[in-house]
């Protein structure tokens, strides 16, 4: 990772906030409509990449950097609550249940202001496949400016050629004024900070996939496995079947002699995807 904005500023005092002054929030309340039909079977945040659901990857990504972690839930609430409070979970987060309607990325934090209680926030998207150590993102942060992790993506850039990739540091004064109504962080915070020249953008040169579609979800799994098929625990593989560049959930079956290529099979649902491989990550 390399800082590509604000390079003329001295580093923040003490190398950034102490862990006790930083909390984590995993955003996991989305409906995942673009990831249908998989999200008709389970919430997007519980769709597995490799052996673990996306939300577990997100928790593992930020937990080492913070004192406490919260996860917001709305769509698939009961399944999410059961998973996050299960016995033996490596991280037991605070659950922020969003009543009525999902609050978006900004409203989710507004609803959590009482829990955040004056601390800075490391926020990450549950649907981001981002196998990254966030130490470099957090280290040296001055605690005063918004800092976003980005990848170079000129075609889909949010800030010139840089595209936000699902991890951000937010100072408390900017979080403190967020409302609880549905709203997005870009619209109510990041755009104004960028226009005022107060946005730090840090580039990530490793893999990243926004798992918004089935094609992207398959690409994330193939990147995680090095291009090998991903077979969930409990999946039933018939004699003589062949699974190529595909994901088979643990509740699914591949029939004897069947050849499954470039596909995601979940339960009794199969989605075929063309032109996706491990190189699709990024």
Please tell me the distance from the alpha carbon of residue 248 to that of residue 257, in angstroms, as a whole number.
Answer: 16
For residue 194, pLDDT beyond 90: yes
pLDDT tens sequence across 158-191: 999 999 999 999 999 999 999 999 999 999 999 9
Identify the residue whose tokens are 């190398």: 15
In 3D, which of 187, 257, 263, 259 has the Cα closest to residue 219?
263
When the pLDDT of each residue in the chain is averaged and rounded to a whole number, the result is 92
The residue that leads in pLDDT, 62 or 1, is: 62
pTM of the model: 0.91
And the tokens for 137? 């993102």
pLDDT at residue 14, as a whole number: 42
DSSP the chain: -EE-SSTTSPPPGGGS--GGGEEEEEE-----GGGTTGGGTS-GGGSEETTEEHHHHHHHHHGGG-S-EEEEEBTBHHHHHHHHT-TT-S--PEEEE--SS--HHHHHHHHTHHHHTT-EEEEEETTEE----THHHHTT--SSSEEEEEEE-GGG-SBTTEEEEEEEEE-HHHHHT--SSS--HIIIIIHHHHHTT-EEEEE--S--EETTSHHHHHHHHHHHHTT--EE-TT-EE-TT-EEES-EE-TT-EE-TT-EEESEEEETTEEEE--S--GGG--
Torsion angles phi and psi, residue 272, rounded to 5? -90, 140
For residue 141, pLDDT beyond 70: yes
The long-range contacts involving 274-277, CB below 8 angstroms and separated by at least 24 positions, are 276/215, 276/218, 276/219, 276/222, 276/245, 277/219, 277/222, 277/227, 277/245
Cα–Cα distances (Å) from 165 to 44, 76, 203, 208, in that order, read 17, 24, 9, 7
pLDDT at residue 282, as a whole number: 52
For residue 207, pLDDT beyond 90: yes
pLDDT at residue 17, as a whole number: 67
pLDDT tens sequence across 29-83: 999 999 999 999 999 999 999 999 999 999 999 999 999 999 999 999 999 999 9
The residue that leads in pLDDT, 7 or 88, is: 88
Torsion angles phi and psi, residue 150, rounded to 5? -135, 160
Mean pLDDT, residues 185-207: 96
Torsion of CA 186, 178, 95, 37, to 10 degrees: -30
For residue 108, pLDDT beyond 50: yes
Please tell me the distance from the alpha carbon of residue 122 to that of residue 202, in angstroms, as a whole number.
Answer: 14
pLDDT tens sequence across 221-277: 999 999 999 999 999 999 999 999 999 999 999 999 999 999 999 999 999 998 765
Total residue count of the chain as it appears in this document: 282
pLDDT at residue 275, as a whole number: 72
pLDDT at residue 274, as a whole number: 86
Please tell me the distance from the alpha carbon of residue 75 to that of residue 200, in angstroms, as a whole number.
Answer: 32
Mean pLDDT, residues 111-134: 97
Q: What is the CATH number of domain 2-209?
A: 3.90.550.10
- The domain segmentation of the chain, as residue ranges, is 2-209, 229-273
Strand 52-53 and strand 48-49: the pairing is: antiparallel
């Amino acid at each position: 990772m390399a800082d590509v904005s604000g390079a003329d500023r001295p580093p923040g005092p003490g190398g950034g906030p102490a862990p006790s002054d930083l909390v984590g929030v995993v955003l996991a309340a989305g409906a995942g409509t673009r990831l249908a039909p998989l999200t008709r079977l389970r919430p997007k945040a519980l769709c597995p990449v490799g052996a673990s659901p996306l939300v577990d990857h997100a928790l593992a990504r930020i937990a080492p950097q913070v004192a406490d972690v919260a996860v917001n839930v709305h769509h698939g609430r009961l399944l999410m609550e059961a998973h996050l409070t299960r016995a033996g979970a490596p991280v037991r987060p605070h659950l922020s249940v969003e009543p009525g309607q999902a609050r978006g990325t900004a409203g989710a934090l507004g609803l959590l202001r009482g829990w955040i209680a004056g601390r800075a926030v490391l926020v990450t998207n549950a649907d981001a496949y981002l196998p990254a150590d966030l130490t470099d993102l957090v280290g040296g942060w001055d605690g005063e400016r918004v800092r976003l992790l980005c990848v170079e993506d000129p075609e889909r850039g949010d800030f010139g050629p840089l595209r936000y990739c699902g991890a951000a540091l937010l100072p408390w004064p900017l979080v403190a004024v967020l409302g609880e109504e549905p709203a997005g962080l870009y619209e109510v915070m990041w755009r104004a900070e960028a226009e005022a020249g107060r946005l730090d953008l840090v580039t990530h040169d490793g893999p990243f996939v926004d798992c918004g579609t089935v094609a992207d979800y398959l690409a994330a799994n193939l990147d995680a496995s090095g291009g090998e098929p991903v077979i969930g625990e409990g999946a039933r593989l018939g004699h003589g079947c062949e699974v190529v560049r595909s994901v088979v959930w643990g509740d699914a079956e591949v029939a004897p002699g069947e050849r499954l290529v470039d596909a995601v099979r979940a339960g009794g649902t199969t989605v075929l995807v063309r032109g996706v491989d491990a190189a699709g990550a990024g």
